[in-house]
Amino acid sequence: MLNLLCRRLLHSCSNAARTRRLRTASTATVVLLCLALSMVQARANPWAALEHPSAGTAQAHGKYTAGCVAGAQRLAPTEPGLRTMRLERRRNYGHPALLRYVRALGKHMLEAGFGAVLVGDLSMPRGGPTFSNHISHQSGLDADVWFRMHPADRPLALARRETLSATSFVDWPRRQLKPNWSEAQTEMLRFTAARREVQRVFVSAVIKQHLCQVTRGERTWLAKLRPWYGHADHMHVRLSCPTGSHGCRAQAAVPDGDGCDALEWWIKPRPAKKREKPEPRAKPSLPVACQALLSR
Ligand SMILES: [Zn+2]
């Protein structure tokens, strides 16, 4: 909570410092407040305080949930077929392999006439753990891509990108897709899952169930669609360890088969359980190579 407050205030500070009113009246106060907040933020999570990627060869280190990335690249706010969302979070960085995939997706969807793709979180400039409970996205190999599209010829103001919401495409009580699902979302998933560098794609089980039912012919790409809760408004794309990233720890490959016969567990209603407070889990430690990235 404090972290979120700090980020918001820091953002307001940088905006406020640009206005004449505050420049003349209380610049010193704003600067002091920002400095104090920066220090609190850096102590709480030094990874979130880093503003730039490290120099040198790109390397993904560690696991998706406990890692970092060296030599990351930045996805610009607007690229052909792409609009990057929530820039305030500074999570538009990734291993070059991830940016290659995202750019290929944008180009493909644009050329196919579906419009521009809205890109959510990638990683922070050097990866590492984020402030939120988003525990993966640490090694520069994960990307959240929204299912909702944006008209290719319509600009999207930077301020609007902080407030626009991803929209759900799943009617969960009915265990079916909403009418807003179209060929665009199917093509986004098919294109993504068919790419060699993509290791798995997390989606709502209802989405996978639908695609299992309607896909004819080539079905091998369905194997990479992995059911997971909370993926009704975006897909979470995870790449395999790129060549040359020797410290990267890959996740086990997806099982053989299209996985269409293993969805029932995810979809069937369950009796509501009394919520118990989860045991606090020890934070996984990051590889030694990541410590070096904090100080460079
Ligand atoms: Zn994600």
Residues in the chain with pLDDT < 70?
Answer: 1-43, 133, 275, 278, 280, 296
Q: What distance in angstroms lies between residue 130's CA and the mean position of ligand 1's atoms?
A: 12
Q: What distance in angstroms lies between residue 141's CA and the mean position of ligand 1's atoms?
A: 10
Q: What distance in angstroms lies between residue 247's CA and the mean position of ligand 1's atoms?
A: 22
C-alpha span between 215 and 3 (Å, rounded):
44
The predicted pLDDT at position 131 comes to 76
Q: What angle do CA 213, 216, 220 make, to 5 degrees?
A: 90
Q: What distance in angstroms lies between residue 22's CA and the mean position of ligand 1's atoms?
A: 38
Q: List Cβ neighbours of 70 (8 Å cut-off, separation of 6 or more).
A: 53, 54, 56, 57, 58, 59, 61, 126, 289, 293
Q: What distance in angstroms lies between residue 142's CA and the mean position of ligand 1's atoms?
A: 7
What percent of the chain stands above pLDDT 90? 75
- Decide if domain 53-269+288-295 falls under CATH 3.30.1380.10: yes
Q: What distance in angstroms lies between residue 31's CA and the mean position of ligand 1's atoms?
A: 34
What percent of the chain stands above pLDDT 70? 83
Q: What distance in angstroms lies between residue 53's CA and the mean position of ligand 1's atoms?
A: 20
Q: What distance in angstroms lies between residue 131's CA and the mean position of ligand 1's atoms?
A: 14
Q: What distance in angstroms lies between residue 289's CA and the mean position of ligand 1's atoms?
A: 24
The predicted pLDDT at position 4 comes to 47
Question: Within 10 A of 218 (CB to CB), how many other CB atoms are there?
Answer: 9
Q: What distance in angstroms lies between residue 20's CA and the mean position of ligand 1's atoms?
A: 39
Q: What distance in angstroms lies between residue 74's CA and the mean position of ligand 1's atoms?
A: 17
CB 278 within 8 A of CB 91: no
The predicted pLDDT at position 10 comes to 52
What residue segments make up the domains of the chain, in order of their start?
A: 2-44, 53-269+288-295
pTM of the model: 0.85
The predicted pLDDT at position 103 comes to 98
Q: What distance in angstroms lies between residue 123's CA and the mean position of ligand 1's atoms?
A: 10
Beta bridge partners of 210: none
C-alpha span between 20 and 69 (Å, rounded):
39
